[in-house]
Amino acid sequence: MQFHYDIGGKTYLSPLSFGRPDPIEEFAIKLRANGDKDSYQMARKLEAKTRTFLPVVVRGEEAQGVKFWGFGKLVNTELMEFFLDEDYGDISDPLNGRDITVKFIPKEETGANFPKTTIRVKPNQTPLTENKAQLDALLNNQKDIREVYQELTYDDLKDALVQYLNPTDEEEDTEVTDTPSPQQAEVTSQSATAADFDDLFNKAKATA
């Protein structure tokens, strides 16, 4: 699935996940086409990022049912190597699969600007559970991930983007000085971007 992160402090599920138009992504593409550095950086922030989800059962928490484990490209690539390796077989098989140990290291401990996730697929094959009734419940009562991450309408996403690019008066309340502060400079940049946004959608309406 694809998401827009930290848009006004919120995360939004992109309709691109289901093959539908996404106004935030359309605006990011428009910004990239401008060719300048500031537009490129804003486009990178706004564009949708892919995140993979697997239904999992946490050892010791089987009674809590199936959960979703979300991870990025690096973990996905590493996991795919195990799924495609015939020597490991089907590691997701509920009766003869393999447990995966996940270690998450927060960015405060990695010394970098991002956390790190490492995985280890265990060599022994183990059943999901020895309890047949519990196994049936786990396999048949998985929640639809679209109930966890809900898709907003095109117009709702557009409104969220406009609000992000045009902060309220309270958010813009900064002291006026001869030399703009970093916060003021950011507001100016966002206002310019908002003009591009209006231009983009005005053109779209005119074309329609």
Mean pLDDT by 10 residues, the chain (208 residues): 93 96 96 90 95 93 92 93 94 94 90 87 93 92 88 95 80 43 40 57 48
The pLDDT assigned to 194 comes to: 54
Q: Are 35 and 18 in contact (CB under 8 A)?
A: no
pLDDT of residue 34: 86
What pLDDT sits at residue 132?
92
Q: What is the pLDDT of residue 207?
A: 42
Whole-number pLDDT of residue 160? 94
Model pLDDT, residue 202: 58
* End-to-end Cα distance, the chain: 29
Q: Taken in order 50, 56, 61, 62, is the CA torsion positive or negative?
A: positive
With CA atoms as reference, report the closest residue to 154 among 25, 7, 51: 25
